Structure 1
Amino acid sequence: MDLRAHYTQFWQNAEAQFLKGNYEFDALLDSPTDTRRGITLLARPRGEVLENIQCFLQEMVTLEPEQYYYPTSDVHLTILSIISCYPGFSEADIQLQPYIELVKEALASIQPFRVMFKGITASPSCVLLQGFPYSDDLHQLRGNLRTAFRDCRLQQSIDQRYAISTAHSTVIRFREPLQRPDKFLQKLREYRAHDFGTAVIDQVELVSNDWYQRQENTRLLATFPLT
């Protein structure tokens, strides 16, 4: 996949909607009755990248404080949604150890890899960081996982919503109409090619999580170092 072209298409579509005032607001974002839960394999950027993300978000908060901004603890790169979030799911519904063993097997040939986070893109519902892997390890890892879970009988919903192929990280979600949409859009344009730094992915986490990967609703199930 040509990631740059893919992200650019996302941005052009979103920008056209923003100019018309068309934003998509998440009705469940603040709902105490949202019971959607799932199982995800993810990675977490650290250090300089996180600091640069927070500087960006702080600028956006000054323009639109009522939108939802991911705290440092929740910023992540989804490797693969093993069980996509759905209402009522609980990790108690599955036997965890077979999942851990399958993930461990899929990771056996994967070395630490780097992802450059450069620029932002968007959809009508959110703002995302553009991630660009330096190698094909992320692609290979996802392929290994798809193969492993396709050939087993464990509960899973890999690729049922969509087949993830990018290395993006969602950092802003829209929760209500914008108060300063023109200035907000202009600031996003300023960050279209901003260099947020390069993250070294040397471990991944298997977690149970809510739709937004909020820390208070996330439980670490296993950590896998990449060697």
Structure 2
Amino acid sequence: MAKGPSGIHWRSLFGEWWLELVMEHTERIIKEPKTRDQLSGRFFHGWINTVSMYRFDRWDDNDKFFTSYLGHPTQGAVNAAIFWQNDDHVRFSDQDFHSAAYRNALLQAFAFATFDAVQFKLGPLSEASIGHVGYPARWWDRDCKALHIPCVPRTGMNDLVMNEVGGLAMTIGFHWLDKHLQKRIEGRVHSRALIDTTRILTNPPQSWANIVRFRAPWFRDNRP
């Protein structure tokens, strides 16, 4: 239940996060044949086995650079934006590092993005449970070191870290663009279409977060 007019609206926060999670997994199932292949079988057995074999001793999971260092930070930034738009302490304000509320919201958004990252990789509704990402496809994938053959890891720590670290950096950067570039554009132009388009371009994570609360992508809480 929401705290009130000056708190964090937990019910809508987790409702929007849930919708974002469903959309992410739907995209995975549509795009990834390996994920679809693993949907049958014992859910809990496959999930527990996948998590138990996760490579916490590695950084790189052999994903594409774009996926690891842009896609996952963007996922973190979207979840930070979902948190932001449900926190009345900051959602009507501009970036202000002198504000304790802004600094606290950054830490809370970081924690929320961390929760999402761990859940998305390892939780009960994760890549590990839905599609068993990281589970060896063949017995020799598991025993490759003992057999002295090349290992092709599918898991690592990078996504567990880059979601929130990269996501927070993106959040701060997009807040800066909104305050110092976007608001200047809006003060100089009168075209509603141009204003709406530049709002989307200068803060894509917020625009996507708007969609899961059924708002227009260009909507901003602190101005019309």
Give the TM-score taking structure 2 as reference length.
0.26
Query: Where is the strand percentage greater, Structure 1 or Structure 2?
Result: 1
Which is helix-richer, 1 or 2? 2
